[in-house]
Amino acid sequence: MKNIAIIDYGIGNLYSVLKACEFVGINAVITNDKNKITSSDAIILPGVGAFNDAMNSLNRLDLVNPIVDFSKSGKPLMGVCLGMQLLLSESEEFGSTKGLGIFEGICKKFPQINGDLKLKVPQINWNSIYPNNNNNSFKTNTPLEDIKSGEQMYFVHSYYADLVNEDEVLSKTIYGGIEYCSSISKKKIFGFQFHPEKSASEGLKIYDKFKEIINNKIE
């Protein structure tokens, strides 16, 4: 059985990520132990809250290099919500904060007003995800492979990913007239702005597919 580490850096609801893993049969542990993380078969980086607090925690726990090194190992890695944003190069939260830099991209705050539209910030809602580049279906060999275009997922966030490399954009979502990148992928590294563990049966499919990727059923 493969061992999966859910990285605990003091914030975020790790419990719901763990429950979703258990539900689909992923053998996961919650940990901040460097060695355990490095020796895992896959890692999940969850997170809710402020970008700079999260980076400070990762730095304090000396986890930045282990995560970046892991991302170069070819083993599967999944970031969720703030955990996806941390994979990017920086966030405009509190001026500018450097991220893990595994993907190009910058987190920007949703404006309160966009043209004639007034936006509620944070966005807290179920919203649709669409494949990039007007494709009819999501990229194969990713956790979204079995998800239909337009499927609704649960989002909770004030910042969104911008300036991501086009070929690394896995899905797009529209909020308040702003079309933004709602998930990213390259090789076996994935990031989801929404919460698959809180997106009912469709979200659990994403965990299930991630399990197949961990088990090497998908190359």
Partner 1 sequence: MKNIRIIPRLDIKGPNLVKGIHLEGLRALGKPSDFAKKYYEDGADELLLMDVVASLYDRNSLHEIISETSENVFIPITIGGGLRTLEDIKSVLRVGADKVALNTAAIKNPRLIQQAVNKFGSSTIVISIEAIKQENGDYFCFTDNGREFTGIEVIDWVRKVQELGAGEIIITSVDKEGTGKGLDEELISKVSKESSVPLIVHGGIGSKNHVKSILEYPSVDAVSAASIFHYDYVTKNTNKKTAGTEGNTEFLLSGRNVKNIETISLNDLKEFLFQNNVSVRKNK
What does the alpha-carbon distance between residue 145 and residue 90 come to, in Å, rounded to a whole number? 28
What does the alpha-carbon distance between residue 39 and residue 76 come to, in Å, rounded to a whole number? 12
Alpha helix locations (H) across the chain?
Answer: 14-24, 34-39, 51-60, 64-71, 82-86, 200-214
Nearer of residues 50 and 64 to partner 1, judged by Cβ: 50
Nearer of residues 89 and 158 to partner 1, judged by Cβ: 158
What does the alpha-carbon distance between residue 151 and residue 168 come to, in Å, rounded to a whole number? 20
Instruction: List residues near partner 1 by CB under 8 A.
Output: 11, 13, 15-16, 19-20, 23, 48-50, 53, 82, 112, 120-122, 124-127, 152, 154, 156-158, 195, 197-204
Active-site residue identified among 21, 22, 81, 92: 81
Give catalytic status of residue 197 as yes or no.
Answer: yes
What does the alpha-carbon distance between residue 117 and residue 111 come to, in Å, rounded to a whole number? 10
Nearer of residues 60 and 187 to partner 1, judged by Cβ: 60
Nearer of residues 99 and 203 to partner 1, judged by Cβ: 203
> Is residue 176 within 8 Å of 127, Cβ to Cβ?
no
Provide the residue type at 214 as one letter: I
Q: Which residues are catalytic, by number?
A: 81, 195, 197
